[in-house]
Amino acid sequence: MRDVEEILVLLSKRLGISKEEACRLLHKYICRGQCNWYRKEAKNTGFADIIITDEQARIMKEILDKAMSNLSHEDRFKRIHKYICPGEPCSM
């Protein structure tokens, strides 16, 4: 999904982190423990311990609002989560 890849690149640049770390942060921001993968793997992978700062959350919201303004909040989250969640298939 080209739009999600572009969001990851923007997040990486704005937050000064790798694209992989941007993906983990965005997954944490979007998922919030709702998917099966999170419930099964979050503690083992350290995903549950990721803390998103207020500034990171603000930047993510800003980028998502600009990049996906044509989608509802819920549809944005579903589209992104389906693409970045390591669980197959995505349960969100």
Contacts of 84 (CB under 8 A, 6+ apart): 4, 8, 23, 26, 27, 30
pLDDT single digits (tens) 53-66: 999 999 999 999 99
Are 68 and 79 in contact by the 8 Å Cβ rule? The answer is yes
pLDDT single digits (tens) 14-71: 999 999 999 989 988 988 767 777 778 778 888 888 899 999 999 999 999 999 999 9
What crossing angle do the helices spanning 54-67 and 19-31 adopt, rounded to 10°? 90
Q: Is the pTM of this model over 0.75?
A: yes
Q: Which among 21, 87, 18, 10 has a CA at the least distance from the CA of 52?
A: 21
Are 91 and 40 in contact by the 8 Å Cβ rule? The answer is no
Residue ranges of domains in the chain: 2-84
